[in-house]
């Protein structure tokens, strides 16, 4: 039997229908969770027009008390993971749970809740029991409950795949590898735990980081910094901020990226290249939840979700002493591995459509599409530069196609560029770019996907005519 969950929030007047898989699978998951945790009940609760609404449940009780605590359910739907081993001994930051009438009526002593990750907005997994538990037991079972919440989120996902091969995560493709990445993103997004995104250069690590932030629901900004782009002294001030007069050129206080990302997400890109001194300082920030601006005497608390990205093998770097092992354990609580493009060439048609739409809009180009022979040639390429290299190839193809479909002869792959330096295609591509930018070398190089120096060398080598006066000041 198939069913669908109907979710209606108090602020909405339309019902969103969520097609799901067999309800027996959901019941079995809840039953397994009850047996694993030793708690008495597990139920899936959502927001209804008049308060929390139960969509599925499993209970080991046989005393007729099947009701739920509406107060606990409302708190569970608040989004933050919770676990209280004894409701009569609430944590200092919690309200007195036992004062709720439903908690007393149902004689509840312990509870645990997790938001359901993914696109099922406003759903939570709740477990409760009439027996108190030890805090150590709850900490031990928490990772498994997180996994169950992720499994339920995957079970409730719509089965249809968007026609474009892309989705709300901004990832194109339907291969098994990219589906694994999607599941990992949706599972990790709701939680504040650090995520390490691993993958070769140009594979889309920042795109994954932005998807994690977008699905996290955190109200703050997404901020990214390249850890190898700045020397250590400047990187410290960039991350943690600096007070006025801390060093030459600082005439006012600087907040730093940690504080700019308050209640948001900070991406530490290429963290494998972070200087050793900064690794120790970052570890302290992750442990203490506070930053000390350069030149300051006191620390400033920060609420930031940390994402890290690298193309390096950090385990090998830690074994050689080039990366702190204790920092690696901190940032790698949830790893997400991105495959190189060469390992998912079946995604090329969907990936090309998504990239061409974005490139055409960004660069003002006429959109086109690779024909079958062009796609076959793209599939044969090794793609050492991954998706970033594919973007450059498609830009050149769009320019050469002049508004039509991209054919095989329009493709100029990077490993073939040297042998094609005297071809008519390359000359026409350069001439079109120069004409479109009124012979501005900087903008023409950007349209093609080259550096300005490379474009200048190719112009000189091919003898392409240009107007040097138009390029002054570029």
Cα 397 to Cα 99, 342, 353: the distances in Å are 68, 20, 13
> Which of the listed residues 155, 186, 217 is the one where a domain comes to its end?
155
Distance CA(460)–CA(463), nearest Å, equals: 5
Residue 427 within any structural domain of the chain: yes
Show which of 339, 373, 391 is a domain's final residue: 339
Instruction: Examine the domain organization and report whether 147 and 292 are in the same domain.
Output: no
Tell whether 59 is covered by a domain: yes
Mark which of 339, 373, 393 sits at the end of a domain. 339
Do residues 203 and 268 share a domain?
Answer: yes
In a domain, 112, yes or no: yes
Mean pLDDT of all residues in 202-227? 91
Q: Is residue 54 part of a domain?
A: yes
Contact, 436 vs 448, CB < 8 A? no
Q: Is the pTM of this model over 0.85?
A: no
Tell me the pLDDT tens digit for each residue of 26-43. Answer: 888 888 888 888 888 888
Look at residue 286 and tell me if it is in a domain. yes
Alpha helices, DSSP H only, in 302-440? Answer: 314-319, 325-331, 348-363, 372-380, 386-401, 424-436
Least Cα distance to 351 among 370, 377, 372 occurs for 370
168 is a domain residue: no
189 with 334, same domain?
A: yes
Do 286 and 364 share a domain, yes or no? no
Q: 420 or 222, which is more confident?
A: 222
Q: Does 313 lie in the same domain as 184?
A: yes
Please check whether residue 402 lies inside any domain of the structure. Answer: yes
Sign, CA torsion 433/434/438/442:
positive
pLDDT tens track for 168-193: 677 888 899 999 999 999 989 988 88
**Domain membership flag for residue 160:** no
Q: Are residues 29 and 150 in the same domain?
A: yes
Structurally, how many domains does the chain consist of?
3
Q: How many CB atoms lie within 10 A of CB 462?
A: 16
* Torsional class of 187: left (φ above 0), alpha (ψ -120 to 50), beta (otherwise): alpha
One domain for residues 238 and 365: no
Per-residue pLDDT, averaged over 316-320, amounts to 92
262 and 282 assigned to the same domain: yes
CATH number where 375 lies: 1.10.8.60
Q: What is the DSSP string of 272-315?
A: GGS-HHHHHHHHHHHHHSEE--BT-SS-EE---EEEEEESS-HH
Same domain for 361 and 319: no
Per-residue pLDDT for 66 more than 80? no
CB atoms within 10 A of CB 322: 14
Asked if residue 322 and residue 441 are part of one domain, the reply reads no
Domain check: are 185 and 332 in the same one?
Answer: yes
Residue 416: per-residue pLDDT: 54
Task: Find the domain containing 18 and state its range.
Answer: 4-155
Identify the CA nearest to 66 among candidates 37, 46, 41: 41
Give the CATH number for residue 143: 3.30.450.40
Residues 222 and 129 in one domain: no
CATH code, domain with 203: 3.40.50.300
Q: Is the dihedral of CA 63, 28, 212, 274 positive or negative?
A: positive
pLDDT band at residue 23 under the 50/70/90 scheme: low
């Amino acid at each position: 039997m198939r069913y669908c969950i109907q979710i209606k929030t108090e602020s909405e007047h339309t019902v969103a229908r969520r097609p799901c898989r067999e309800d027996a699978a959901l019941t079995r998951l809840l039953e397994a969770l009850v047996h694993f945790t030793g708690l008495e009940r597990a139920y899936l609760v959502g927001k209804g027009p008049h308060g929390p609404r139960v969509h599925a449940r499993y209970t080991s009780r046989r005393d007729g008390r099947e009701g739920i605590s509406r107060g606990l359910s409302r708190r569970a739907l608040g989004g933050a993971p919770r676990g209280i081993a004894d409701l009569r001994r609430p944590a200092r930051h919690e309200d007195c749970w036992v004062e709720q009438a439903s908690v007393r009526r149902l004689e509840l002593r312990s509870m645990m809740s997790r938001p359901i990750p993914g696109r099922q907005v406003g759903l939570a997994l709740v477990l409760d029991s009439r027996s108190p538990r030890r805090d150590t037991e709850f900490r031990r079972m928490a990772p498994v409950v997180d996994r169950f919440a992720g499994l339920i989120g995957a079970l409730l996902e719509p089965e249809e795949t968007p026609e474009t091969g892309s989705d709300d995560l901004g990832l194109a493709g339907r291969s098994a590898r990219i589906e694994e990445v999607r599941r990992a993103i949706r599972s990790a997004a709701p939680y504040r735990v650090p995520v390490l995104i691993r993958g070769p250069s140009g594979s889309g690590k920042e795109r994954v980081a932005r998807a994690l932030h977008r699905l996290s629901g955190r109200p703050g900004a997404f901020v990214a910094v390249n850890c190898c782009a700045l020397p250590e002294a400047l990187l410290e001030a960039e991350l943690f901020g600096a007070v006025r007069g801390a060093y030459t050129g600082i005439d006012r206080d600087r907040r730093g990226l940690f504080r700019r990302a308050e209640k948001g997400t900070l991406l530490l890109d290429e963290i494998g290249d972070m200087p050793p001194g900064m690794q120790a300082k970052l570890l302290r920030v992750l442990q203490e939840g506070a930053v000390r601006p350069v030149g300051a005497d006191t620390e400033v608390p920060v609420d930031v979700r940390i994402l890290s990205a690298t193309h390096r093998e950090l385990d090998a770097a830690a074994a050689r002493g080039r990366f702190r092992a204790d920092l690696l354990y901190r940032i790698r609580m949830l790893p997400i591995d991105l495959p190189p493009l060469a390992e998912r060439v079946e995604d090329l048609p969907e990936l090309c459509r998504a990239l061409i739409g974005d490139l055409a809009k960004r660069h003002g180009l006429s959109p086109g599409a690779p024909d079958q022979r062009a796609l076959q040639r793209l599939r044969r390429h090794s793609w050492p530069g991954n998706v970033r290299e594919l973007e450059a190839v498609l830009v050149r193809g769009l320019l050469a196609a002049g508004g039509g479909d991209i054919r095989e002869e329009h493709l100029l792959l990077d490993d073939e560029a040297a042998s094609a330096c005297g071809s008519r295609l390359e000359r026409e591509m350069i001439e079109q770019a120069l004409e479109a930018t009124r012979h501005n070398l900087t903008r023409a190089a950007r349209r093609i996907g080259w550096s300005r120096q490379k474009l200048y060398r190719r112009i000189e080598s091919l003898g392409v005519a240009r107007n040097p006066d138009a390029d002054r000041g570029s």
